Protein backbone atom coordinates (compact mmCIF):
# COMPACT_ATOMS: atom_id res chain seq x y z
CA UNK A 1 0.00 0.00 0.00
CA UNK A 2 1.03 3.61 -0.40
CA UNK A 3 1.66 5.80 2.62
CA UNK A 4 -0.62 8.81 2.89
CA UNK A 5 0.80 11.72 4.93
CA UNK A 6 -1.43 14.26 6.61
CA UNK A 7 -3.52 16.43 4.33
CA UNK A 8 -1.71 19.40 2.83
CA UNK A 9 -3.02 22.93 2.59
CA UNK A 10 -5.27 23.65 -0.36
CA UNK A 11 -3.69 24.47 -3.68
CA UNK A 12 -5.38 27.84 -3.78
CA UNK A 13 -3.89 28.81 -0.45
CA UNK A 14 -0.46 27.70 -1.59
CA UNK A 15 -0.70 29.75 -4.77
CA UNK A 16 -1.46 32.83 -2.73
CA UNK A 17 1.09 32.14 -0.02
CA UNK A 18 4.02 31.72 -2.35
CA UNK A 19 3.44 35.11 -3.93
CA UNK A 20 3.53 36.78 -0.53
CA UNK A 21 6.89 35.29 0.42
CA UNK A 22 9.79 37.70 0.26
CA UNK A 23 12.74 36.61 -1.86
CA UNK A 24 15.54 35.36 0.39
CA UNK A 25 19.18 36.12 -0.08
CA UNK A 26 21.67 33.29 -0.59
CA UNK A 27 25.27 33.93 0.24
CA UNK A 28 27.79 33.21 -2.48
CA UNK A 29 29.80 30.03 -2.08
CA UNK A 30 33.23 29.96 -0.49
CA UNK A 31 35.87 29.80 -3.22
CA UNK A 32 38.74 29.08 -0.88
CA UNK A 33 38.92 25.32 -1.45
CA UNK A 34 42.51 24.16 -1.75
CA UNK A 35 43.94 21.18 -3.67
CA UNK A 36 42.77 17.82 -2.38
CA UNK A 37 45.21 15.86 -0.25
CA UNK A 38 44.62 12.67 -2.23
CA UNK A 39 46.49 12.39 -5.53
CA UNK A 40 43.53 11.26 -7.60
CA UNK A 41 43.84 13.33 -10.75
CA UNK A 42 45.00 10.39 -12.85
CA UNK A 43 42.39 7.89 -11.68
CA UNK A 44 40.09 8.48 -14.65
CA UNK A 45 42.65 7.12 -17.13
CA UNK A 46 43.49 4.08 -14.99
CA UNK A 47 41.68 0.72 -14.69
CA UNK A 48 38.79 0.83 -12.26
CA UNK A 49 40.29 -1.39 -9.57
CA UNK A 50 37.68 -0.15 -7.08
CA UNK A 51 34.77 -1.74 -8.91
CA UNK A 52 36.71 -4.97 -9.35
CA UNK A 53 37.53 -5.14 -5.64
CA UNK A 54 33.95 -4.27 -4.76
CA UNK A 55 32.42 -6.90 -7.04
CA UNK A 56 34.96 -9.57 -6.06
CA UNK A 57 34.23 -9.16 -2.35
CA UNK A 58 30.48 -9.49 -2.89
CA UNK A 59 30.84 -12.50 -5.19
CA UNK A 60 33.24 -14.19 -2.77
CA UNK A 61 30.80 -13.70 0.08
CA UNK A 62 27.90 -15.05 -1.96
CA UNK A 63 29.90 -18.12 -2.96
CA UNK A 64 31.42 -18.92 0.44
CA UNK A 65 28.63 -17.78 2.78
CA UNK A 66 25.28 -18.21 1.01
CA UNK A 67 23.36 -18.64 4.27
CA UNK A 68 24.77 -15.41 5.67
CA UNK A 69 23.93 -13.60 2.41
CA UNK A 70 20.37 -14.88 2.58
CA UNK A 71 20.13 -13.76 6.20
CA UNK A 72 21.38 -10.32 5.21
CA UNK A 73 18.88 -10.14 2.36
CA UNK A 74 16.12 -10.71 4.88
CA UNK A 75 17.45 -8.09 7.28
CA UNK A 76 14.82 -5.33 7.80
CA UNK A 77 16.51 -2.48 5.97
CA UNK A 78 13.91 0.15 6.73
CA UNK A 79 13.71 2.72 3.95
CA UNK A 80 15.35 3.05 0.55
CA UNK A 81 15.63 6.83 0.30
CA UNK A 82 17.61 7.28 -2.92
CA UNK A 83 15.95 5.37 -5.73
CA UNK A 84 15.55 6.41 -9.37
CA UNK A 85 12.51 4.62 -10.74
CA UNK A 86 13.74 4.39 -14.34
CA UNK A 87 17.26 3.40 -13.29
CA UNK A 88 16.04 0.77 -10.82
CA UNK A 89 14.11 -1.38 -13.29
CA UNK A 90 16.31 -4.27 -14.39
CA UNK A 91 17.27 -4.28 -18.11
CA UNK A 92 15.63 -7.67 -18.62
CA UNK A 93 12.32 -6.06 -17.62
CA UNK A 94 12.87 -3.24 -20.12
CA UNK A 95 13.38 -5.84 -22.84
CA UNK A 96 10.06 -7.41 -21.92
CA UNK A 97 8.21 -4.08 -21.71
CA UNK A 98 9.76 -2.86 -24.97
CA UNK A 99 8.82 -6.07 -26.74
CA UNK A 100 5.22 -5.70 -25.53
CA UNK A 101 5.22 -2.07 -26.72
CA UNK A 102 6.36 -3.07 -30.20
CA UNK A 103 9.55 -1.03 -29.66
CA UNK A 104 12.60 -1.29 -31.89
CA UNK A 105 16.35 -1.56 -31.36
CA UNK A 106 19.36 -0.54 -33.38
CA UNK A 107 22.86 0.92 -33.20
CA UNK A 108 23.46 4.18 -31.37
CA UNK A 109 24.61 6.28 -34.30
CA UNK A 110 27.67 4.67 -35.85
CA UNK A 111 28.74 3.03 -32.59
CA UNK A 112 28.17 -0.52 -31.46
CA UNK A 113 25.90 -0.01 -28.39
CA UNK A 114 22.23 -0.59 -29.07
CA UNK A 115 19.48 1.83 -28.19
CA UNK A 116 15.72 1.38 -28.08
CA UNK A 117 13.24 3.57 -29.89
CA UNK A 118 9.49 3.60 -30.30
CA UNK A 119 8.02 2.30 -33.53
CA UNK A 120 6.45 4.77 -35.96
CA UNK A 121 2.72 5.44 -35.93
CA UNK A 122 2.35 2.72 -38.57
CA UNK A 123 4.14 0.24 -36.33
CA UNK A 124 7.32 0.14 -38.38
CA UNK A 125 10.90 0.54 -37.24
CA UNK A 126 13.05 3.30 -38.70
CA UNK A 127 15.98 2.56 -41.00
CA UNK A 128 18.63 0.42 -39.36
CA UNK A 129 16.31 -0.65 -36.53
CA UNK A 130 14.43 -3.90 -35.99
CA UNK A 131 11.58 -5.00 -33.69
CA UNK A 132 12.72 -6.05 -30.25
CA UNK A 133 10.52 -9.10 -30.64
CA UNK A 134 12.84 -10.32 -33.39
CA UNK A 135 16.09 -9.81 -31.50
CA UNK A 136 18.39 -12.83 -31.53
CA UNK A 137 19.98 -14.12 -28.35
CA UNK A 138 23.32 -12.43 -29.18
CA UNK A 139 21.50 -9.16 -29.88
CA UNK A 140 19.52 -9.43 -26.64
CA UNK A 141 22.80 -9.92 -24.82
CA UNK A 142 24.21 -6.80 -26.48
CA UNK A 143 21.09 -4.81 -25.61
CA UNK A 144 21.42 -5.79 -21.94
CA UNK A 145 25.05 -4.65 -21.99
CA UNK A 146 24.09 -1.39 -23.72
CA UNK A 147 21.36 -0.38 -21.26
CA UNK A 148 23.15 -1.37 -18.03
CA UNK A 149 26.55 -2.17 -16.50
CA UNK A 150 25.92 -5.87 -17.17
CA UNK A 151 29.27 -7.46 -18.05
CA UNK A 152 30.90 -4.07 -18.55
CA UNK A 153 34.70 -4.37 -18.74
CA UNK A 154 35.70 -1.11 -16.99
CA UNK A 155 38.81 -0.36 -19.08
CA UNK A 156 39.16 2.78 -16.97
CA UNK A 157 37.14 4.92 -14.59
CA UNK A 158 36.09 7.40 -17.26
CA UNK A 159 34.62 4.64 -19.40
CA UNK A 160 32.49 3.31 -16.53
CA UNK A 161 31.31 6.83 -15.70
CA UNK A 162 30.30 7.54 -19.30
CA UNK A 163 28.66 4.18 -19.93
CA UNK A 164 26.58 4.46 -16.75
CA UNK A 165 25.11 7.85 -17.66
CA UNK A 166 24.65 6.91 -21.33
CA UNK A 167 22.40 3.97 -20.52
CA UNK A 168 19.40 6.11 -19.58
CA UNK A 169 18.93 7.51 -23.08
CA UNK A 170 19.12 4.01 -24.53
CA UNK A 171 16.03 2.72 -22.68
CA UNK A 172 14.16 6.04 -22.52
CA UNK A 173 11.75 5.06 -25.31
CA UNK A 174 10.45 2.39 -22.95
CA UNK A 175 10.85 4.07 -19.55
CA UNK A 176 9.28 7.36 -20.68
CA UNK A 177 6.14 5.61 -21.94
CA UNK A 178 3.58 6.54 -19.28
CA UNK A 179 1.79 3.23 -19.83
CA UNK A 180 4.90 1.49 -18.51
CA UNK A 181 5.15 3.49 -15.27
CA UNK A 182 2.76 1.24 -13.27
CA UNK A 183 4.51 -2.03 -14.27
CA UNK A 184 7.86 -0.37 -13.59
CA UNK A 185 6.67 0.76 -10.17
CA UNK A 186 5.26 -2.68 -9.42
CA UNK A 187 8.58 -4.26 -10.32
CA UNK A 188 10.54 -1.85 -8.14
CA UNK A 189 8.22 -2.57 -5.21
CA UNK A 190 8.81 -6.28 -5.73
CA UNK A 191 12.56 -5.69 -5.68
CA UNK A 192 12.24 -3.59 -2.52
CA UNK A 193 10.22 -6.28 -0.77
CA UNK A 194 12.74 -8.97 -1.73
CA UNK A 195 15.51 -6.85 -0.21
CA UNK A 196 13.75 -6.27 3.11
CA UNK A 197 12.66 -2.66 2.46
CA UNK A 198 9.47 -1.52 4.17
CA UNK A 199 9.31 2.05 2.81
CA UNK A 200 10.46 3.45 -0.54
CA UNK A 201 10.92 6.98 -1.85
CA UNK A 202 11.37 6.79 -5.61
CA UNK A 203 12.32 9.64 -7.94
CA UNK A 204 10.20 10.48 -10.97
CA UNK A 205 9.34 13.45 -13.16
CA UNK A 206 5.77 14.40 -14.02
CA UNK A 207 4.14 16.42 -16.80
CA UNK A 208 7.47 16.96 -18.58
CA UNK A 209 5.96 18.31 -21.79
CA UNK A 210 3.73 20.80 -19.99
CA UNK A 211 6.57 22.00 -17.78
CA UNK A 212 8.88 22.41 -20.79
CA UNK A 213 6.20 24.46 -22.55
CA UNK A 214 5.91 26.73 -19.50
CA UNK A 215 9.69 27.13 -19.45
CA UNK A 216 9.66 28.26 -23.08
CA UNK A 217 6.99 30.84 -22.28
CA UNK A 218 9.02 32.06 -19.33
CA UNK A 219 12.12 32.50 -21.53
CA UNK A 220 10.10 34.46 -24.07
CA UNK A 221 8.81 36.79 -21.39
CA UNK A 222 12.11 37.03 -19.49
CA UNK A 223 14.86 36.34 -22.07
CA UNK A 224 17.78 37.79 -20.08
CA UNK A 225 19.80 35.23 -18.10
CA UNK A 226 20.28 37.89 -15.45
CA UNK A 227 16.61 37.49 -14.48
CA UNK A 228 17.38 34.00 -13.19
CA UNK A 229 20.42 35.08 -11.21
CA UNK A 230 18.75 37.84 -9.23
CA UNK A 231 16.47 36.48 -6.55
CA UNK A 232 14.73 39.84 -6.35
CA UNK A 233 13.23 38.92 -9.73
CA UNK A 234 12.08 35.46 -8.66
CA UNK A 235 8.61 36.45 -7.35
CA UNK A 236 7.82 37.99 -10.75
CA UNK A 237 9.00 34.85 -12.55
CA UNK A 238 6.94 32.68 -10.24
CA UNK A 239 3.87 34.90 -10.68
CA UNK A 240 4.20 34.64 -14.47
CA UNK A 241 4.31 30.85 -14.31
CA UNK A 242 1.23 30.74 -12.11
CA UNK A 243 -0.64 33.00 -14.50
CA UNK A 244 0.55 30.89 -17.44
CA UNK A 245 -0.94 27.68 -16.06
CA UNK A 246 1.49 26.20 -13.55
CA UNK A 247 -1.42 25.21 -11.32
CA UNK A 248 -3.03 23.32 -14.22
CA UNK A 249 0.18 21.32 -14.73
CA UNK A 250 0.21 20.46 -11.05
CA UNK A 251 -3.43 19.37 -11.16
CA UNK A 252 -2.69 17.18 -14.20
CA UNK A 253 0.26 15.64 -12.36
CA UNK A 254 -1.94 14.79 -9.38
CA UNK A 255 -4.36 12.99 -11.70
CA UNK A 256 -1.43 11.20 -13.32
CA UNK A 257 -0.11 10.06 -9.93
CA UNK A 258 -3.50 8.74 -8.86
CA UNK A 259 -3.68 6.68 -12.05
CA UNK A 260 -0.19 5.27 -11.47
CA UNK A 261 -1.05 4.31 -7.92
CA UNK A 262 -4.35 2.65 -8.81
CA UNK A 263 -2.91 0.72 -11.75
CA UNK A 264 0.04 -0.44 -9.66
CA UNK A 265 -2.33 -1.73 -6.98
CA UNK A 266 -4.19 -3.66 -9.67
CA UNK A 267 -1.00 -5.20 -11.05
CA UNK A 268 0.02 -6.35 -7.56
CA UNK A 269 -3.52 -7.50 -6.65
CA UNK A 270 -3.38 -5.31 -3.57
CA UNK A 271 -6.44 -5.58 -1.33
CA UNK A 272 -7.31 -9.05 -2.59
CA UNK A 273 -6.64 -12.55 -1.20
CA UNK A 274 -4.00 -12.93 -3.94
CA UNK A 275 -2.14 -9.74 -3.02
CA UNK A 276 1.58 -9.89 -3.68
CA UNK A 277 3.97 -9.30 -0.77
CA UNK A 278 5.10 -6.10 -2.51
CA UNK A 279 1.78 -4.54 -1.49
CA UNK A 280 3.24 -4.32 2.00
CA UNK A 281 5.91 -1.85 0.92
CA UNK A 282 4.79 1.72 1.64
CA UNK A 283 6.03 4.22 -0.91
CA UNK A 284 5.97 7.83 -2.00
CA UNK A 285 7.39 9.92 -4.84
CA UNK A 286 10.22 12.42 -5.02
CA UNK A 287 9.72 14.82 -7.94
CA UNK A 288 12.86 15.75 -9.87
CA UNK A 289 14.60 18.76 -11.40
CA UNK A 290 17.31 18.27 -14.05
CA UNK A 291 20.56 20.11 -13.36
CA UNK A 292 21.92 19.52 -16.91
CA UNK A 293 19.21 21.53 -18.70
CA UNK A 294 21.12 23.55 -21.32
CA UNK A 295 20.55 26.16 -24.00
CA UNK A 296 21.65 25.66 -27.60
CA UNK A 297 25.08 27.13 -26.84
CA UNK A 298 25.62 24.71 -23.96
CA UNK A 299 25.10 27.28 -21.20
CA UNK A 300 22.71 26.52 -18.31
CA UNK A 301 19.02 26.81 -19.14
CA UNK A 302 18.14 28.55 -15.91
CA UNK A 303 14.59 29.30 -17.04
CA UNK A 304 13.93 25.58 -17.34
CA UNK A 305 15.52 24.84 -13.97
CA UNK A 306 13.44 27.60 -12.39
CA UNK A 307 10.24 26.30 -14.00
CA UNK A 308 10.93 22.70 -12.98
CA UNK A 309 11.69 23.83 -9.44
CA UNK A 310 8.53 25.96 -9.27
CA UNK A 311 6.44 23.05 -10.52
CA UNK A 312 8.10 20.50 -8.25
CA UNK A 313 7.77 22.58 -5.09
CA UNK A 314 4.13 23.38 -5.77
CA UNK A 315 3.35 19.75 -6.57
CA UNK A 316 5.04 18.50 -3.41
CA UNK A 317 3.17 21.12 -1.39
CA UNK A 318 -0.23 20.07 -2.68
CA UNK A 319 0.07 16.32 -3.34
CA UNK A 320 0.35 14.02 -0.34
CA UNK A 321 2.00 11.26 -2.35
CA UNK A 322 4.89 13.52 -3.40
CA UNK A 323 7.00 13.95 -0.28
CA UNK A 324 9.99 15.87 -1.61
CA UNK A 325 12.05 17.37 -4.42
CA UNK A 326 15.44 16.36 -5.81
CA UNK A 327 18.01 17.87 -8.18
CA UNK A 328 19.63 15.17 -10.27
CA UNK A 329 21.72 14.29 -13.34
CA UNK A 330 25.44 14.30 -14.05
CA UNK A 331 27.00 16.63 -11.48
CA UNK A 332 30.41 16.93 -13.17
CA UNK A 333 28.95 17.99 -16.54
CA UNK A 334 30.22 21.44 -17.60
CA UNK A 335 26.68 22.83 -17.60
CA UNK A 336 26.11 21.52 -14.06
CA UNK A 337 29.31 23.04 -12.75
CA UNK A 338 28.61 26.35 -14.48
CA UNK A 339 25.04 26.56 -13.21
CA UNK A 340 25.48 25.31 -9.65
CA UNK A 341 25.48 28.65 -7.81
CA UNK A 342 22.45 29.86 -9.75
CA UNK A 343 20.62 26.59 -9.18
CA UNK A 344 21.24 26.83 -5.44
CA UNK A 345 19.98 30.40 -5.45
CA UNK A 346 16.78 29.14 -7.13
CA UNK A 347 16.40 26.28 -4.66
CA UNK A 348 17.13 28.58 -1.74
CA UNK A 349 14.35 30.88 -2.87
CA UNK A 350 11.81 28.07 -3.19
CA UNK A 351 12.90 26.62 0.14
CA UNK A 352 11.91 29.92 1.72
CA UNK A 353 8.67 30.04 -0.29
CA UNK A 354 7.77 26.44 0.61
CA UNK A 355 9.49 25.79 3.96
CA UNK A 356 7.53 22.59 4.56
CA UNK A 357 8.65 20.96 1.32
CA UNK A 358 11.47 18.46 1.79
CA UNK A 359 14.57 18.59 -0.39
CA UNK A 360 16.99 15.69 -0.92
CA UNK A 361 19.52 16.88 -3.49
CA UNK A 362 22.32 15.06 -5.30
CA UNK A 363 25.61 16.64 -4.23
CA UNK A 364 29.26 15.71 -3.99
CA UNK A 365 29.13 12.98 -6.65
CA UNK A 366 32.52 14.33 -7.69
CA UNK A 367 36.18 13.40 -7.46
CA UNK A 368 39.36 15.28 -8.45
CA UNK A 369 39.82 13.17 -11.57
CA UNK A 370 36.58 14.55 -13.02
CA UNK A 371 36.77 18.17 -11.86
CA UNK A 372 40.41 18.75 -10.83
CA UNK A 373 42.05 18.55 -7.43
CA UNK A 374 41.83 22.29 -6.81
CA UNK A 375 38.21 22.68 -7.86
CA UNK A 376 36.15 24.45 -5.17
CA UNK A 377 33.14 22.39 -6.30
CA UNK A 378 34.42 19.49 -4.21
CA UNK A 379 33.45 21.42 -1.11
CA UNK A 380 30.92 23.94 -2.40
CA UNK A 381 28.54 21.38 -3.86
CA UNK A 382 28.15 20.03 -0.32
CA UNK A 383 27.98 23.30 1.59
CA UNK A 384 25.94 25.11 -1.07
CA UNK A 385 23.37 22.33 -1.18
CA UNK A 386 22.99 22.28 2.58
CA UNK A 387 22.69 26.06 2.74
CA UNK A 388 19.95 25.93 0.11
CA UNK A 389 17.90 23.79 2.48
CA UNK A 390 18.60 20.15 1.63
CA UNK A 391 17.72 17.71 4.41
CA UNK A 392 19.49 14.85 2.67
CA UNK A 393 22.50 14.67 0.36
CA UNK A 394 22.82 11.98 -2.29
CA UNK A 395 26.34 10.48 -2.58
CA UNK A 396 28.57 13.12 -0.92
CA UNK A 397 31.73 11.35 -2.17
CA UNK A 398 33.72 14.57 -2.60
CA UNK A 399 33.96 14.79 1.20
CA UNK A 400 36.81 12.25 1.01
CA UNK A 401 38.96 14.68 -0.97
CA UNK A 402 38.74 17.64 1.40
CA UNK A 403 41.39 18.66 3.90
CA UNK A 404 40.67 17.98 7.56
CA UNK A 405 39.69 21.57 8.29
CA UNK A 406 37.27 21.57 5.38
CA UNK A 407 35.82 18.24 6.47
CA UNK A 408 35.20 19.66 9.93
CA UNK A 409 33.42 22.67 8.46
CA UNK A 410 31.24 20.54 6.18
CA UNK A 411 30.47 18.00 8.92
CA UNK A 412 29.50 20.79 11.28
CA UNK A 413 27.04 22.09 8.70
CA UNK A 414 25.57 18.60 8.28
CA UNK A 415 25.10 18.27 12.03
CA UNK A 416 23.64 21.76 12.50
CA UNK A 417 21.16 21.11 9.68
CA UNK A 418 20.45 17.58 10.94
CA UNK A 419 21.03 16.34 7.40
CA UNK A 420 21.81 12.79 6.28
CA UNK A 421 24.11 11.40 3.56
CA UNK A 422 22.65 8.69 1.34
CA UNK A 423 25.43 6.12 0.79
CA UNK A 424 25.51 4.06 -2.45
CA UNK A 425 28.60 1.89 -2.76
CA UNK A 426 27.71 0.20 -6.06
CA UNK A 427 27.21 3.26 -8.23
CA UNK A 428 30.09 5.10 -6.54
CA UNK A 429 32.41 2.26 -7.57
CA UNK A 430 31.00 2.01 -11.09
CA UNK A 431 30.82 5.74 -11.85
CA UNK A 432 33.62 7.25 -9.78
CA UNK A 433 36.01 4.38 -9.15
CA UNK A 434 35.63 4.93 -5.40
CA UNK A 435 35.35 2.13 -2.84
CA UNK A 436 36.93 0.77 0.31
CA UNK A 437 39.29 3.06 2.20
CA UNK A 438 38.84 5.83 -0.37
CA UNK A 439 35.08 5.99 0.15
CA UNK A 440 34.01 8.58 2.78
CA UNK A 441 31.50 6.25 4.52
CA UNK A 442 33.65 5.69 7.61
CA UNK A 443 34.81 9.33 7.58
CA UNK A 444 31.25 10.59 7.78
CA UNK A 445 30.62 8.30 10.72
CA UNK A 446 33.80 9.45 12.45
CA UNK A 447 32.63 13.07 12.10
CA UNK A 448 29.20 12.25 13.49
CA UNK A 449 27.34 12.79 10.21
CA UNK A 450 24.21 10.62 9.86
CA UNK A 451 24.32 8.08 7.01
CA UNK A 452 22.07 5.40 5.50
CA UNK A 453 22.46 2.90 2.65
CA UNK A 454 20.38 3.30 -0.52
CA UNK A 455 20.09 1.60 -3.91
CA UNK A 456 20.40 4.45 -6.46
CA UNK A 457 20.00 2.69 -9.85
CA UNK A 458 19.82 -1.06 -9.30
CA UNK A 459 18.81 -1.80 -12.89
CA UNK A 460 21.58 0.21 -14.50
CA UNK A 461 24.07 -1.18 -11.97
CA UNK A 462 22.66 -4.68 -12.53
CA UNK A 463 22.78 -5.17 -8.77
CA UNK A 464 20.47 -5.04 -5.77
CA UNK A 465 20.22 -3.24 -2.43
CA UNK A 466 21.43 -6.25 -0.45
CA UNK A 467 24.79 -5.93 -2.23
CA UNK A 468 25.28 -2.58 -0.50
CA UNK A 469 24.82 -4.24 2.89
CA UNK A 470 27.02 -7.22 2.05
CA UNK A 471 29.83 -4.86 1.13
CA UNK A 472 29.28 -2.73 4.22
CA UNK A 473 29.50 -5.73 6.53
CA UNK A 474 32.43 -7.42 4.84
CA UNK A 475 34.54 -4.38 3.98
CA UNK A 476 33.95 -2.23 7.04
CA UNK A 477 33.21 -4.90 9.65
CA UNK A 478 29.76 -3.59 10.49
CA UNK A 479 28.19 -5.10 13.60
CA UNK A 480 24.55 -5.80 14.35
CA UNK A 481 24.41 -2.48 16.21
CA UNK A 482 25.74 -0.75 13.09
CA UNK A 483 23.10 -2.43 10.96
CA UNK A 484 20.36 -1.34 13.36
CA UNK A 485 21.69 2.21 13.30
CA UNK A 486 21.65 2.32 9.49
CA UNK A 487 18.14 0.89 9.25
CA UNK A 488 16.81 3.22 11.93
CA UNK A 489 18.44 6.21 10.26
CA UNK A 490 16.76 5.46 6.95
CA UNK A 491 13.33 5.80 8.53
CA UNK A 492 14.34 8.65 10.84
CA UNK A 493 15.40 10.79 7.86
CA UNK A 494 12.64 9.67 5.53
CA UNK A 495 10.08 12.21 4.42
CA UNK A 496 7.14 10.34 5.92
CA UNK A 497 4.71 12.62 7.70
CA UNK A 498 4.93 13.17 11.43
CA UNK A 499 7.50 13.44 14.17
CA UNK A 500 10.19 10.75 14.43
CA UNK A 501 10.35 8.12 17.15
CA UNK A 502 13.97 8.74 18.04
CA UNK A 503 15.32 11.77 19.85
CA UNK A 504 18.81 10.35 19.17
CA UNK A 505 19.23 7.40 16.82
CA UNK A 506 22.93 6.89 17.58
CA UNK A 507 22.22 6.63 21.31
CA UNK A 508 19.02 4.62 20.85
CA UNK A 509 17.08 7.27 22.76
CA UNK A 510 13.35 7.53 21.98
CA UNK A 511 11.35 10.74 22.25
CA UNK A 512 10.15 11.66 25.72
CA UNK A 513 6.61 10.40 25.12
CA UNK A 514 7.94 6.86 24.61
CA UNK A 515 10.97 7.02 26.89
CA UNK A 516 9.49 4.53 29.36
CA UNK A 517 8.55 2.02 26.66
CA UNK A 518 10.45 -0.74 24.89
CA UNK A 519 10.33 0.33 21.21
CA UNK A 520 8.42 -2.18 19.13
CA UNK A 521 6.45 -3.67 22.01
CA UNK A 522 2.92 -4.87 21.32
CA UNK A 523 1.50 -2.82 24.21
CA UNK A 524 2.90 0.73 24.24
CA UNK A 525 1.88 2.96 27.11
CA UNK A 526 -1.14 5.19 26.68
CA UNK A 527 1.01 8.27 26.20
CA UNK A 528 3.32 6.59 23.70
CA UNK A 529 0.40 5.01 21.88
CA UNK A 530 -1.20 8.42 21.49
CA UNK A 531 2.04 9.78 20.06
CA UNK A 532 2.30 6.90 17.57
CA UNK A 533 -1.27 7.46 16.36
CA UNK A 534 -0.42 11.05 15.51
CA UNK A 535 2.70 10.25 13.48
CA UNK A 536 2.90 7.94 10.45
CA UNK A 537 6.69 8.07 10.67
CA UNK A 538 6.88 7.13 14.35
CA UNK A 539 4.34 4.35 13.82
CA UNK A 540 6.45 2.93 10.97
CA UNK A 541 9.54 3.13 13.15
CA UNK A 542 7.76 1.35 16.00
CA UNK A 543 6.76 -1.44 13.62
CA UNK A 544 10.35 -1.58 12.39
CA UNK A 545 11.58 -2.19 15.93
CA UNK A 546 9.17 -5.11 16.23
CA UNK A 547 10.52 -6.55 12.97
CA UNK A 548 14.07 -6.10 14.24
CA UNK A 549 13.36 -8.03 17.42
CA UNK A 550 11.84 -10.89 15.48
CA UNK A 551 14.75 -10.85 13.03
CA UNK A 552 17.41 -11.07 15.73
CA UNK A 553 15.60 -13.99 17.32
CA UNK A 554 15.76 -15.88 14.04
CA UNK A 555 19.01 -14.71 12.47
CA UNK A 556 21.09 -13.13 15.22
CA UNK A 557 23.47 -16.12 15.17
CA UNK A 558 24.91 -14.86 11.88
CA UNK A 559 26.03 -11.57 13.38
CA UNK A 560 27.72 -12.57 16.62
CA UNK A 561 27.05 -11.28 20.09
CA UNK A 562 25.85 -7.73 20.69
Give the pLDDT of residue 93. Answer: 97
- Encode pLDDT of 227-271 as tens digits: 999 999 999 999 999 999 999 999 999 999 999 999 999 999 999
Alpha helices in 30-102 (DSSP H): 49-64, 66-74, 85-88, 91-101
- Checking if the pLDDT of 384 tops 60, the result is yes
* pLDDT for position 561: 57
pTM of the model: 0.91
Tally helices (H) and strands (E) across the chain. Answer: 23, 13
For residues 96 and 83, give the distance between their C-alpha atoms in angstroms, rounded to a whole number. Answer: 21
pLDDT value, residue 42 = 54
Q: What band does 109 get if pLDDT is binned at 50, 70 and 90?
A: confident
Half-sphere exposure (Cβ direction) of 538: Cα atoms closer than 13 Å: 21
CB 198 within 8 A of CB 78: yes
- The pLDDT of residue 259 is 98
Is the confidence at residue 6, as pLDDT, over 80?
Answer: no
pLDDT on residue 121: 87
CA distance 446 to 461: 28
Of 23-27, 159-163, 191-195, 422-426, minimum mean pLDDT range: 23-27
Task: Read off the pLDDT of residues 34-76 as tens digits, 9 standing for 90 and up.
Answer: 333 344 445 688 889 999 999 999 999 999 999 999 999 999 9
> Is residue 501 within 8 Å of 89, Cβ to Cβ?
no
CB neighbours of 211 closer than 8 A, spacing ≥ 6?
249, 307, 308, 311
pLDDT, tens digit (0-9, with 9 covering 90-100), for 532-541: 999 999 999 9
Q: What does the pLDDT read at residue 560?
A: 75
The b/e string for 437-452 (b: 16+ C-beta within 10 A; e otherwise) is: ebbbbebbbebebbbb
Q: How confident is the model at residue 189 (pLDDT cuts 50, 70, 90)?
A: very high
Distance CA 140, CA 95 (A): 8
Amino acid sequence: MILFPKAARTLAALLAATLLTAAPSLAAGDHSASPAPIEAQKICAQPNDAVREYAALIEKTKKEQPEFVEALRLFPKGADLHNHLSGTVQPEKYLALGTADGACYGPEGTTTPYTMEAATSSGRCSDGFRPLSEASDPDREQILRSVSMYRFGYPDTQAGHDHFFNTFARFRAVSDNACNTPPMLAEVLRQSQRDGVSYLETMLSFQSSAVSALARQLKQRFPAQASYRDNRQFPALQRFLLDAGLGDAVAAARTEIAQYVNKTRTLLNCGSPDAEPACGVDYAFIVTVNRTSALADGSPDLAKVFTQAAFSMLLSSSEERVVGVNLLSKEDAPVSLAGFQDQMRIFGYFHEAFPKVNMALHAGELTPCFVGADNPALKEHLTGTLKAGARRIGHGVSFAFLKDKEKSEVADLFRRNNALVEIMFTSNAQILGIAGATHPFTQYRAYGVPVAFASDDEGVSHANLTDEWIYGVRKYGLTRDDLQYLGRNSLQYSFMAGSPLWADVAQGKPVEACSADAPGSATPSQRCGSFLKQSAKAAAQWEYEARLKEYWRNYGKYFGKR
